[in-house]
Amino acid sequence: MFKYSSFIKREYDYAIRISAYLASIFPGGHRSITDISNSLLLTKPITSKIVHQLKKNQILESVRGRNGGVKLTKNPKNLSFLDILTAMNFNSTLNECLKNPAICPLVSSCKIHIYFGNLEQNLLDTLENTFVSEFIISENSLKSKGGE
């Protein structure tokens, strides 16, 4: 039986979703960790972990005060999926020889290496040219999907 491993970890997916959710209230709006968790059906610990990582990499910033929370620091029209994935330490490659060409003596003439290299570059280009603004998650869209 073949076992798949995720190329895009759940934390990466959630980071994109959190950014897309906050994009619906950009530029001035912010949400609490609790609101984000409840709206996106995530646990508070995983939401906090992801928010911390995105804040550390300047994707999000804190809004202090009694009704504080977090908000996007970048315009969703300019915030790419690759920006978010990079902030989350995404560094996957399709094939080990792409990450470390020294492991294979055939790399310079290997059609398989070239194929995977081109495939990976196409994926990275697509992620770099896919913006959060195209995937905004609003409260209304969440309610309509939930059957309310």
Taking the CA atoms of the chain, what radius of gyration do you get in angstroms? 18
Domains annotated on the chain, with CATH: 10-91+132-141 (1.10.10.10)
Amino acid at 83: D
> Tell me, what's the pLDDT at 148?
44
Average pLDDT over residues 40-50: 95
Cα dihedral angle (121, 125, 126, 132), rounded to 10 degrees?
140
Nearest to 124 by CA among 89, 75, 80: 80
> Tell me, what's the pLDDT at 114?
81
Lowest mean pLDDT among 29-33, 100-104, 118-122: 100-104
- The secondary structure of residue 71, as a DSSP letter, is E
Q: How confident is the model at residue 41 (pLDDT cuts 50, 70, 90)?
A: very high
Whether the pLDDT of residue 102 is over 80: the answer is no
CA distance 2 to 22: 37
Q: How confident is the model at residue 118 (pLDDT cuts 50, 70, 90)?
A: confident
What pairs with residue 70 in β-bridges?
31, 62
- H or E element: which one contains 61? strand 60-63
What angle (nearest 5°) sits at the alpha carbon of residue 59, between those of residues 126 and 20? 60
Instruction: Encode pLDDT of 61-94 as tens digits.
Output: 998 888 889 999 999 999 999 999 999 988 777 6
**Taking a C-beta distance cutoff of 8 angstroms, is the pair 69, 31 a contact?**
yes
Whether the pLDDT of residue 3 is over 70: the answer is no
Q: pTM for this structure?
A: 0.83
Half-sphere exposure (CA, 13 Å, Cβ side) for 130?
A: 14
